[in-house]
Chains A and B, each alone.
Chain A
Amino acid sequence: MTVGLFIPCYVDQFYPNAAIATLQLLEKAGVNVVYPMRQTCCGQPMANSGFEHLTKDCNELFVQNFAEFDYIVSPSGSCVLHVKDHLHSEKHEDQAQAIRGKVYELVEFLTDVVKIEKLNARFPHKVGLHQSCHGQRGLGLAQMSELVAPAFSKPEKLLSMVQDLELITLTRKDECCGFGGTFCVAEEAVSVKMGKDRVADHLQHNAEIITGADMSCLMHMEGILRRQKSNVKVMHIAEILNAQEG
């Protein structure tokens, strides 16, 4: 099985550690991983702003880069959801369709495809999990508080395999953090207020680290935490699942 590693643009530029941890986790799970060097962005920022029609070139490039793999895996739920829902190609629609069916967010790939049952990781900290909306409600990584259905959480399942990690509970389990792509600048006031409230929920429950399966939400909350001069850090879930502290 060969996996194409899809590292979203902003993760490549700002959060290489999340990408490295993703790569190493997959390799440790015995997966053959290739990172296509010509990748840029999935086009989500444009599409969510109403410019889906401008994403054609991005889409063609994405198909060129990823068509050959058995699976495509990415440490970003929202980018994966965008590809799953909106990737199309005028030239190779069959390949685009195949990609839509085999693109996975890292957590769901580990739980559903690799079916990981144990991890060799230790992280002795109080951790708060931010369930990003696109991952949770879009990809179904965890049960949503609105639906009358049994609870489950794929990220929590993985975090429970990490030695000495203490997962805190939150008052509002799956409230949006307010990032929302271009929403974070177009609706600056509400976006920041949502982010502040989300962060406050974690702080009130004594989180040392806020984690999640979507780096973009974490980037937004990190910006708020640092402005508040808080010691609380954000870490992508891959970095925690890959941690070997102490």
Chain B
Amino acid sequence: MKEGHTKDHAALADDFNQDEPRVNWHDETLWFIREKRDRAAFAIPDWEMLRETASQIKFHTLSNLSQYLEQFEANAKANGITVHWAADAEEHNQIVHSILTKNGVTQMVKSKSMLTEECHLNDYLEQNGIEVIDSDLGERIVQLAKEPPSHIVLPCIHLKKEEIGDIFHQHLGTEAGMSNPQVLTETARQHLRETFLTRKAALTGVNFAIAETGEFVVCTNEGNADMGAHLADVHVASMGIEKLIPKREHLGVFLRLLTRSATGQPITTYSSHFKKPRPGHDIHIVLVDNGRSVQLGREDFRNSLKCIRCGACMNTCPVYRRSGGHSYQSAVAGPIGSILAPNLDMKKHADLPFASTLCGSCSNVCPVKIDIHNQLYKWRQVIVKEGYADPTKTMGMKAMNMVLSSPKTFKLSGKAGRWFMKTVPFLVSNKMNPWYKQREMPQPPKESFGEWYRKNRKTNE
């Protein structure tokens, strides 16, 4: 068990699996989206070429990141945007707080931004007396439920409409037992309308920032980013430094890929471009590093910064679908989250690269072709070398190595009651033989293949 957590991914996934019908429902809901993604992708004959192009644009950008960041900063400033730099989460939160304080704002409306989840901005602002209301419907629901989002695109995909009805009843005054989606949506709409109209500051995330023009693009399906930003006097945009693309003309590639990969839609309902503040209004952009330059320096994991946060790798991941987003204990869950999180805190997230069968489906759906499953394999090697592996596992592996590197011992242990019965792979976390809990053991045959071969074929011994 690791510091700061009471349970690791496997234990939380075990809890999640106590309610099997719910696991089925979660799995099927996400699989439905994965299938929509497939249909959208297959409707475009050039899909694989698009992915390759996107991957190369991102690779090029990451290879020249400092240069493009400076270009972006210069152009954004020329457009009248105030640019801030934040080395880490703490600094990001302080910057946002100071902007709000300077403008005398105590209530802010925020559209979806996984970066602010990563920085725990809401908690920080609330501790400093500032009320934040999330305006993305899913985000608002988990915010009311006092839970973190369980998915980067579908924050409350783990909740059923009846549960949402209960939350709305408790916080927004709907009738008890009301779970009609239309009624709930209308309630949320009224509640958020009122919020948009009364907030002087709005925070949005950034999907793409364009170095060439100093503008940025925010994609939403609900138009909530626009409502917030257009009605407020101050617009703060929080952006990870990897969100950059060099040119406007590259946007077409990414906008075609993003929503098809995310939900199977051809394009997001709103792809809003922000370039310069209206007279009397302010736009601030906070460029956040928070571990990204460290990851950029890790050659094996650099490509993870190509991520455009479409969530396709989560929807396709057979483990994510059956363990739920909260089992990852990280703002970004699922396969890509398991690569990003150990970079931020290797000790705390040492379990995540092991929460995968390395089936490779994630790498295939990824619109920017991140070799996700290979990076998970590589993180495992790093985590073990850095000493974050379970000591019993290390002992088991050493014993396994001894047996496997000596043909004689191997043969003897095989004979002595099928050594493998007790070891590969059962030895590894052999508390009460987790294999046998819900599975029968293989039935040992009369003789091994080696023994058969010796009797039936000419051997080379």
Tell me the bound Cα distance from A17 to B444 in angstroms.
12
Q: How far is the CA of A197 from the CA of B27 in the complex (A)?
A: 10
CB pair A220 B439 closer than 8 Å? yes
Return the CB mask of B363-374 against A: 1 if under 8 Å, else 0.
Answer: 111000000000
CB distance from B389 to the nearest CB of A (A): 6
Distance in Å from the Cβ of A219 to the closest Cβ of chain B?
6
Which of A13, A39, A184, A191 is within 8 Å of B420, CB to CB?
A: A13
Knowing A14-B418, A49-B428, A61-B407, the reply to whether A149 touches B361 (Cβ < 8 A) is no
Task: Check if B359 sits within 8 Å of A133, measured CB to CB.
Answer: yes
A220 to B448 alpha-carbon distance, docked (Å): 19
Who on chain B is nearest to A175 by CB?
B318
Question: For A138, what are the chain B residues with a Cβ–Cβ distance below 8 Å?
Answer: 360
Segment from A40-48, A90-98, A102-110 that makes contact with B:
A40-48
Given contacts A37-B454, A190-B319, contact A149 B48 (CB under 8 A): yes
Tell yes or no: B150 within 8 A of A by CB: no
Within the complex, which residue of B14, B363, B424 is in contact with A9, where a contact is CB–CB below 8 Å?
A: B424
Knowing A50-B384, A223-B441 are in contact, say whether A37-B461 is a contact too (CB < 8 A). yes
Cβ of A58 within 8 Å of any chain B Cβ, yes or no, is yes
Interface residues of B: mostly helix, strand, loop or mixed? helix
**Distance to closest chain B CB from A46 (angstroms):** 5
Are B435 and A58 within 8 A (Cβ)?
A: no
Interface size class of A (residues with CB under 8 A): 35 or more
Name A147's contact: one of B17, B323, B364, B389 (CB within 8 Å).
B364
List residues of chain B with CB within 8 A of the CB of A179: 357
Q: Which residues from chain A contact B31 at a C-beta distance below 8 Å?
A: 172
Q: On chain B, which size bracket covers the interface? A: 35 or more
Task: Tell me how far the C-beta of A39 lies from the nearest C-beta in chain B, rounded to whole angstroms.
Answer: 7
Kindly list chain B residues whose C-beta atoms are within 8 Å of the C-beta of A51.
384, 389, 394, 397, 401
B360 touches A137 (CB 8 A): yes
Query: Chain A: which residue is nearest B45 at the CB level?
Result: A148
- Interfacial residues of chain A within 177-226, with CB under 8 A of chain B in the complex: 178-195, 197, 219-220, 222-224, 226
CB pair B440–A40 under 8 Å, yes or no, is no
Q: Which residue of A lies closest to B355 (CB)?
A: A187
Complex partner residue of A37 from B359, B404, B442, B459, CB under 8 angstroms:
B459
Residue contact B435 to A184, C-beta cutoff 8 Å: yes
Q: Is B74 an interface residue (CB 8 A)?
A: no
Beta-carbon contact of A182 and B425 below 8 Å: yes
Chain A contacts for B450, CB-based, 8 A: 7, 12, 35, 37
B381 interface residue (CB < 8 Å to A): yes
Q: B172 → chain A, closest Cβ, in Å?
A: 35
The residue of chain B having its C-beta at the shortest distance from the C-beta of A218 within the complex is: B442
- Give the docked Cα–Cα distance between A169 and B454 (Å): 40
Least distance between B208 CB and chain A CB atoms (Å): 23
The answer to whether B449 touches A16, judged by C-beta atoms less than 8 angstroms apart, is yes
Q: Are A192 and B420 in contact (CB under 8 A)?
A: no
Given A11-B449, A39-B407, A40-B410, are A190 and B17 also a contact pair (CB < 8 Å)? yes
Contact of B400 with A45 in the complex, beta carbons under 8 Å: yes
Residue from A9, A14, A175, A180 in contact with B404 in the complex, judged by beta carbons closer than 8 Å:
A9
Does any Cβ of B come within 8 Å of A176's Cβ?
Answer: yes
Task: Report the nearest B residue to A196, measured CB to CB.
Answer: B438
One of B36-44, B119-127, B181-189 contacting the partner: B36-44
Q: Which of B322, B424, B437 sits near A45, CB closer than 8 Å?
A: B424
Cα-based distance from A138 to B389 in the complex (angstroms): 26
Known: A51-B397, A182-B428, A227-B438. A189 touches B17 (CB 8 A): yes
> When chains A and B are docked, how far (Å) is the Cα of A7 from the Cα of B44?
43
B13 at the interface (CB under 8 A from A): yes
Q: Which residues of chain B come closer than 8 Å to A45, judged between CB atoms?
A: 400, 424-425, 428
A7 with B354: in contact, given A187-B10, A190-B17 (CB under 8 Å)? no
Is the CB of B107 closer than 8 A to any CB of chain A? no
CA distance A19 to B355 in the complex (A): 31
How many Å lie between the Cα of A35 and that of B456 in the bound state? 12
In the assembled complex, A146 has its CB within 8 A of some CB on chain B: yes
**In the assembly, what is the distance between CA of A144 and CA of B365, in Å?**
10
Within the complex, which residue of B27, B385, B439, B442 is in contact with A195, where a contact is CB–CB below 8 Å? B439
Q: A17-B445, A147-B364, A176-B318 are in contact. List 16 more A-B contacts (CB 8 A).
A: A10-B424, A12-B448, A12-B450, A15-B442, A16-B448, A16-B451, A43-B404, A45-B425, A50-B383, A50-B385, A61-B407, A182-B425, A183-B354, A186-B429, A187-B13, A189-B17
Q: List 7 A-B contacts (CB under 8 A).
A: A10-B420, A12-B450, A16-B449, A35-B459, A137-B363, A138-B360, A185-B434
User: A residues touching B (Cβ–Cβ < 8 Å)?
Assistant: 7, 9-17, 19-20, 23, 34-41, 43, 45-55, 57-58, 60-61, 133-134, 137-138, 144-149, 172, 174-176, 178-195, 197, 219-220, 222-224, 226-227
Task: Report the 6 A-B pairs with minimum CB-CB distance, sorted nearest first.
Answer: A180-B357, A223-B439, A57-B405, A50-B380, A50-B384, A146-B364
